[in-house]
Amino acid sequence: MKTSASLVAMSNYRSRVRPPERLRFRAANDAPRSDGEWVKCRDGRSLRLRPIHPDDVVALQRGFSHLSAEEIRMRFLHALTELPDALATRLCQIDPDREIALVLVDGPEVPEPEIHGVARAYIDPTTDSAEFAVIVQKALNGQGFGRLLMQRVIAACRARGVREIWGDVLVENGRMLTLCDSLGFRREPVFHGTGLTRVRLAI
């Protein structure tokens, strides 16, 4: 099982590799709009879909605290009982040249906002590919937010010149595999990871 320290180290390693010139000096309009877009929940709430901000640490931790152990395992592929400050800070302070992170977050009218969904992509400049990860709180399931986050992160990767987006999914995570199938991903086995399926999409 990976420790919180190892997760931080892995994220820091990813951020140290310099991307090619075309990614470092991309046009400003390649990035998702900083003001985001409003989406409506079934219960009438409005959430903003926008890029993650460095000051989202507490909101991210609040959202994490409302995830079940099963939801966490499906996302991180192993047990994680808390989101420590160091890891939460690293996840919010991304390298914009190498990483994409979009969130579904409460509006400014909420006194203690939390993040209800996250989509991430880590760009590998040596292969022009990006590894993705998506999680949406169970309370929002069945409302199309997972698909929306996936579509937005795919579009953001395409704008950066990424040619393929991929991810490892637990074989028991039928909801995510079905979503990936509907978006055109192809499945392949992961020989070094028992219980995992790799999904790939050429973009």
Note the pLDDT of residue 130. 97
Among 49-53, 60-64, 157-161, 188-192, which stretch is predicted with the lowest mean pLDDT?
Answer: 188-192
Please enumerate in sequence order all residues whose Cβ is within 8 A of that of 111, keeping only pairs 6 or more positions apart, or say none: none
The answer, yes or no, to whether residue 124 has pLDDT greater than 90, is yes
109 φ, ψ (degrees, to nearest 5)? -75, -15
43 φ, ψ (degrees, to nearest 5)? -85, 5
Q: pTM above the 0.85 mark?
A: no
Judge contact between 104 and 48, C-beta under 8 A: yes
39 φ, ψ (degrees, to nearest 5)? -130, 150
Band of residue 47 on the pLDDT scale cut at 50, 70, 90: very high
Arithmetic mean of pLDDT, 59-64: 94
CATH number for region 4-8+30-165: 3.40.630.30
CA distances to 66, 81, 88, 92 from 4, rounded to whole Å, are 19, 10, 10, 15
21 φ, ψ (degrees, to nearest 5)? -55, -40
CA distances to 32, 34, 86, 131 from 64, rounded to whole Å, are 24, 23, 14, 21
Residues of the chain with pLDDT > 70, as a percent, come to 79
Cα 9 to the center of its chain, rounded Å: 18
Domain boundaries, the chain: 4-8+30-165
Closest residue by Cα to residue 173 from 133, 140, 120: 133
Note the pLDDT of residue 79. 59
Q: Give the max Cα distance, the chain.
A: 48
Per-residue pLDDT reduced to its tens digit, 158-202: 999 999 999 999 898 999 999 999 999 999 988 776 789 999 999
Cα 147 to the center of its chain, rounded Å: 12
The answer, yes or no, to whether residue 137 has pLDDT greater than 50, is yes
Name the residue with higher pLDDT: 18 or 122: 122
Per-residue pLDDT reduced to its tens digit, 78-116: 556 678 899 999 999 999 889 999 999 999 899 999 999
The answer, yes or no, to whether residue 140 has pLDDT greater than 50, is yes
Note the pLDDT of residue 22. 46
| Dist. CA 99–CA 77, nearest whole Å | 20
Here the tokens at position 101 are 């992170």
Note the pLDDT of residue 33. 55
Residue type, position 115, single letter: I
